[in-house]
Amino acid sequence: MALRLIQARLPADAREGLEELFDAIDSVDAWSALEGDRVVARILIDAEHTETATDRLAERFGGREGFRVVVHSVEATLPPASARAEIRDEWSAGLWNRLGRISREELYADLSQGARLHPLSLVAVALSTVVAAVGLIRSDVAVIIGAMVIAPLLGPNMGLALAAALGDRDLAARAFRAGLAGLVLALVLSYAIGAVFHVDPASTELAVRTRIGFADVVVALAAGAAGTLAYTSALPSAVIGVMVAVALVPPLVATGLFLGSGHPSMAFRSGLLVVTNVTCVNLAGVAMFLAQKVRPRTWWDAERARRATRLAIASWLFALAVLATAILLARR
């Protein structure tokens, strides 16, 4: 995993306890310097250990005046970071510990950006809707794939899942607004396109969005899990975002096209696929954050987060059960 540089601004008298803290952290290198009336500590560390280091700094110095921690991504270091003398037995550490993840603070910063309701995101949604609508009407798979590359749907869904894992109502509200705005905009715009242009409901790419099955549930669950791993492991999320868009954009646009062209029964089937996919993506996201132990730092926040996570998982599972029943009825 990549390296991080943790820079902490501490009170001048904090230098005495820093050596003990440095020894307790599994870092590549650590040093401190007196700058004015403050001590600045710098820790070079593997990204997967960043959360442990920042938690220990916050526990020891968090209540002191002027305390501040900044985490930087490290592109390279000279000499190269070498393996420590004591190699950890990673294969006995459990699956998720072996995979590693970035810190909750980095996750929160990344997903807070992705969960914002921004004009550029709405423009991207509108463009992806137009491209997807053209691809569906013409049954052009290449054009549909292009629409999925444009669609910015990963951030709001993952932000909603992280909010459930951390019990953060503010992040949940922002992610919900951003996700809902994108879905509504895509639906309204595709409805308008369906009302203006000729839509053949028997065309291959449109018809396939009305045949919902349990394989679609598996695809959506995999998309949610992949999206979560993209963020927690700091992989390029744009690539994984295409998988989430696969589950959401084509059926959503198909629903609008069917409604606009006067095919309500087919719109119901494709709309059912949209709701099922949103449910599965979020359920998988919450489960993956839980499996990777993405939790708040303090025990009182952790208790609130546990309640929020249980409520979110129960709600999504209930919704999935209702949708599974609807899928069975729709296939008869």
pLDDT at 118 over 80: yes
Residue 57 is part of a domain; what is its CATH number?
Answer: 3.30.70.120
Mean pLDDT of 195-218: 87
pLDDT band at residue 243 using 50, 70 and 90 as cut-offs? low
Q: Report the mean per-residue pLDDT for the chain.
A: 84
Helices (H), the chain: 18-24, 50-61, 95-99, 104-114, 119-138, 141-150, 154-166, 169-196, 204-207, 214-232, 237-260, 264-291, 299-330
pLDDT at 24 over 50: yes
Name, of 55-59, 116-120, 313-317, the range with top average pLDDT.
313-317
Place of tokens 């910063």: 109
pLDDT at 95 over 70: no
Does 96 reside within a domain?
no
pLDDT at 240: 58
Does 95 reside within a domain?
no
Whole-angstrom distance, CA of residue 230 vs CA of residue 259 = 34
Do 118 and 81 lie in a common domain?
no
pLDDT band at residue 93 using 50, 70 and 90 as cut-offs? very low
Name, of 77-91, 116-130, 293-307, the range with top average pLDDT.
116-130
Do 273 and 176 lie in a common domain?
yes
Domain count, the chain: 2
Does 99 reside within a domain?
no
pLDDT at 246: 66
Does 94 reside within a domain?
no
What angle, rounded to 10 degrees, do the helices at 141-150 and 119-138 form? 170
Instruction: Please return the burial class of 318, using the count of CB atoms within 10 Å of its CB with bins 0-12, 13-18 and 19+.
Output: exposed
pLDDT at 87 over 50: no
Kindly report whether the peptide bond that precedes residue 236 is cis, defined as omega within 30 degrees of 0.
no
More confident position, 159 or 35: 159
Q: 54, 88, 122 — which closes off a domain?
A: 88
Do 125 and 262 lie in a common domain?
yes
Does 49 reside within a domain?
yes
The pLDDT > 90 percentage for the chain reads: 29
Whole-angstrom distance, CA of residue 1 vs CA of residue 48 = 7
Mean pLDDT of 77-101: 55
pLDDT at 192 over 90: yes
Query: Interior CA angle at 144 toward 263 and 139, to 5°?
Result: 55
Q: 32, 63, 88 — which closes off a domain?
A: 88
pLDDT band at residue 242 using 50, 70 and 90 as cut-offs? low
Do 58 and 201 lie in a common domain?
no
* Range of the structural domain that residue 292 is part of: 104-330
Whole-angstrom distance, CA of residue 124 vs CA of residue 103 = 29
Do 27 and 148 lie in a common domain?
no
pLDDT at 85: 38
Do 179 and 307 lie in a common domain?
yes
Whole-angstrom distance, CA of residue 237 vs CA of residue 156 = 13
Q: 23, 54, 88 — which closes off a domain?
A: 88
208-226 tens-digit pLDDT? 888 888 888 888 888 888 8
pTM over 0.85, yes/no: no
Say if residues 288 and 229 touch (Cβ distance below 8 Å).
yes
Mean pLDDT of 275-296: 90
Does 15 reside within a domain?
yes
